[in-house]
Amino acid sequence: MKRIFEDTATAFALKTDSELERAYFLFRMIANEPLVRIGTAMTNFAIKAHLPVEGLIRATVFDHFCGGVSEKDCMPVVDKMYTKNVCSVLDYSVEGKDTEDPFDDAMDMILKVLDFVKEKDAIPFAVFKPTGYGRFALFQKLSEGKSLSDKEQEEWERVVTRFDKTCKKAHDLDVSLLIDAEESWMQDAADQLVEEMMRKYNKEKAIVFNTLQMYRWDRLDYLKQLEKRAGQEGFKIGVKVVRGAYMEKENERAEEKGYRSPICPSKKETDENFDNAVAYIVNHLDAISIFAGTHNEESSYKLMALMAEKGITHNDNRVWFGQLYGMSDHISFNLANADYNVAKYLPFGPVRDVMPYLIRRAEENTSVAGQTTRELSLLKKERQRRKI
C-alpha cells in the first residue's frame, strides 16, 4: 500500500507560514516535559487568580487546538477544512460539573449544536461525554451494582431523559451522535444506557455511537457480545474505537484498590487489541459502523488495507477516520485527499472553561512516545520545503 502520510504539502496546505511557525513552536514546547509541567501550573494559577492571560492563551495554544469560543466562532475553521474534504465534529469541551444546572446547560448546548449542524455536510457528527449529562458518582454507583436512594433514582431518571432527548433529536435530524467513554469504574452504567439508546434509535442505521477504549483488554469481548445482542434484537451498532485516555489513573486506582488493572499490560497488546477490534468491525460492517479515532499511522494503514481487501469504497459512510484538531494533519488531510471519510474533533467553548481540556492535550502529547517527535519532524520537513 502506498505510504501517503509523508506528503507534507497536502498535510499542511491550509497553514499559512505564520501558522506553521506557531505549530512548530508549540510542539517544541510540548516536547519539553518539565516546561509542560511548569506551564500547566502557571496557567492554572493565572486562571484561578483571574489574571489577564486569556488573550495570550487564545493566540497560541487555544487557536491551535480549538475551533473557537462558540459554535458560530468555529465556522471559519470548519469551512476552511471542508475545502480539503476534512469534516468537523463540534466538541463542546467544557468539563462536567457536579450540580444539576450545568448538566441541563450542556444538554441545551448539544441540542443547539445538533440544530446548527443539521444543514452542514461539513459537520456530520455531534458528540458529548456521559459526565457532561450526569454526576460521575452516580454512574459509578450504578456501575458497582449499588442501589440508589429515592433522590438518586430521580436524579438518574433526569440523566436518562437528557440522553434520550439528545439521541431522539439526533435521530430525527439524521445526524450521527458520538458518546465518549470515560473511566472504567463508571463505564458499565454508561454502556448500558448507550446500548438502550441504540436499541431505540439505531433500527435502520447507526445514529448513536458508543466509544470503546481499546487499552482495556475486555473491550473486544464486549463488542462481540454487543454484536450478538444487536443481531438478536434487530438494531445497528455505532462504535468509535480509540486507544484510551486515562491509563495512569486506571492503573493507579487498580493498584490502590487491589484489583486487576483493566488496562492491557503493554503498548503492543493495546495496539493489537485496537487493530483486532477494527478488523472485527470491518468483517461485520452490515451490523456495525465505525469511527476509528486514531493518531497511529500503522493502524490507519491497516484499516485502509482491510477496506481494499473487502472491496469497501474509500467513502463508504459506515467507515470514518478521526483525529483531533491541531494534531496529525499528515493523517487527516492525506486520507481526505485519497477520498476517505475523515473528521477532526474540533473543541470549542470559553477559553477559561476549555483550559482543563487543553492541559490534558499538552500532557498527553508529552507522554505519548513518539507523537510529538513525529509532529515536529513533519513540521520541520514542511518548513524546509517552503524554505521558511
Q: Are 210 and 198 in contact (CB under 8 A)?
A: yes
Q: Mean per-residue pLDDT for 86-93?
A: 92
pLDDT of 123 strictly over 70: yes
pLDDT of residue 30: 77
* Position 285, amino acid: L
| Percentage, residues of the chain above pLDDT 70 | 90
pLDDT of 20 strictly over 90: yes
- The overall average pLDDT reported for the chain is 91
pLDDT of residue 375: 92
Tens digit of each residue's pLDDT (9 = 90 or more) over 159-197: 999 999 999 999 999 999 999 999 999 999 999 999 999
**pTM given for the model:** 0.92
pLDDT of residue 44: 66
pLDDT of residue 355: 77
pLDDT of 138 strictly over 90: yes
d(CA 95, CA 91): 11
Q: Are 215 and 243 in contact (CB under 8 A)?
A: yes
pLDDT of residue 367: 53
Give the helix/strand (H/E) hosting 37.
helix 33-48
Q: Mean per-residue pLDDT for 268-288?
A: 97
Helix (H, G, I), strand (E, B) or coil at 91: strand
- Concatenating the DSSP letter of every residue in 255-303 gives HHHTS--SB-SSHHHHHHHHHHHHHHHHHTTTTEEEEEE---HHHHHHH
pLDDT of residue 246: 85
Helices (H), 174-266: 184-201, 219-233, 247-257
Q: Convert 166-193 to b/e letters by CB count within 10 Å (16 or more is b).
A: bbebbbeeebbbbbbbbbbbbbbbbbeb
